[in-house]
Amino acid sequence: MAVGIFDSGVGGLTVLDAVEKRMPEVPFVYFGDHAHAPYGVRDADDIYNLTIAAVERLWEAGCDLVILACNTASAAALRRMQESWVPKDKRVLGVFVPLIEALTERQWGDNSPPREVAAKHVALFATPATVASRAFQRELAFRAIGVDVEAQACGGVVDAIEEGDLILAEALVRSHVDALLRKMPKPDAAILGCTHYPLMEEQFQQALGSDVKVFSQASLVAESLADYLARRPDMLGQGTDRLFLTTGEPKRVSDNATQFLRRKITFQAA
């Protein structure tokens, strides 16, 4: 009954932590492609091929349902995978859907025409690849009108978090927020469009100011996944073990992950 969680590095652990707390009875298998992180500077074909390899490994671990807890993979690879690659007895889902639902206050299956929403000026903080894909803007446009989205590519933040250098990560966050505010001085809402960024959520909020509503993905994904599995319990795979898999060096990744989640995490080679 295992469910797979995939990310290019440790960022997806924010999603894992939230879904484990929401569904403690479900064994989750986490796959971090640390050997090829970060994905945010790679081209779309490279991201697609790496994501396919990771998903196949999670299927081997007994996970019929895999969550791409990586905005870059969700933006650059997910639609192509769903349209031409994922077999009928498997599911691969991304992390954009719960975020769009929260921002527009409408369910994903609601196909009524786009309508006005509360947020008019939205700041999007994401990796260069996610920004370049314009996936968030495209999905938002299907459901909302009159929303101005200003995207800021946050180069270096993922690298700093992966290296455990949170002082550098905080400095980069403030720099990127300053750059965005020069383009959009008064955003109503901000999207943390990378699963690494919740670790810096407090720093984003401080730099943006208390009037800006910050949307972070982990808890939204957890609630969405719980609802999905309640409707589709058949998508729980045959796996029974909680596992942490990495393409990187297991000890180093385990140390970083333990620091990241503040509990003991032990990765093994994928």
Domain boundaries, the chain: 3-96+218-269, 98-216
Residue 63 is among the residues annotated as catalytic for this protein: no
pLDDT beyond 70 at 157: yes
| 98-216: CATH topology | Rossmann fold (3.40.50)
Q: 52, 78 in Cβ contact below 8 A?
A: no
Q: What is the pLDDT of residues 178-187, one digit of tens each?
A: 999 999 999 9
Share of residues in the chain with pLDDT > 70 (%) = 99
* Phi, psi for residue 47 in degrees, rounded to 5: -60, -40
Confidence of residue 164 (pLDDT cuts 50, 70, 90): confident
Do 98-216 and 3-96+218-269 fall under one CATH topology?
yes
pLDDT beyond 80 at 1: no
Q: Which residue has the higher pLDDT, 41 or 207?
A: 207
pLDDT beyond 90 at 163: no
Confidence of residue 109 (pLDDT cuts 50, 70, 90): low
Please state, in angstroms and rounded to a whole number, the distance separating the CA atoms of residues 172 and 160. Answer: 9
Q: Which residue out of 100, 194, 214, 257 is catalytically annotated? A: 194
Least confident of 84-93, 138-147, 170-179, 180-189: 138-147
Q: Which residue out of 13, 16, 65, 70 is catalytically annotated? A: 70
pLDDT of residue 240: 87
Mean predicted confidence (pLDDT) in 221-240: 90
Q: What is the pLDDT of residues 26-38, one digit of tens each?
A: 999 999 999 999 8
Please state, in angstroms and rounded to a whole number, the distance separating the CA atoms of residues 196 and 187. Answer: 22
Confidence of residue 205 (pLDDT cuts 50, 70, 90): very high
- Which CATH class for the 3-96+218-269 domain? alpha beta
For residue 209, count other CB atoms closer than 10 A to its CB: 12
Mean predicted confidence (pLDDT) in 253-262: 89
Sheet holding 91-93, edge to edge: 91-93, 65-68, 3-7, 28-32, 243-246, 268-269
Name the amino acid, one letter, at 135.
A
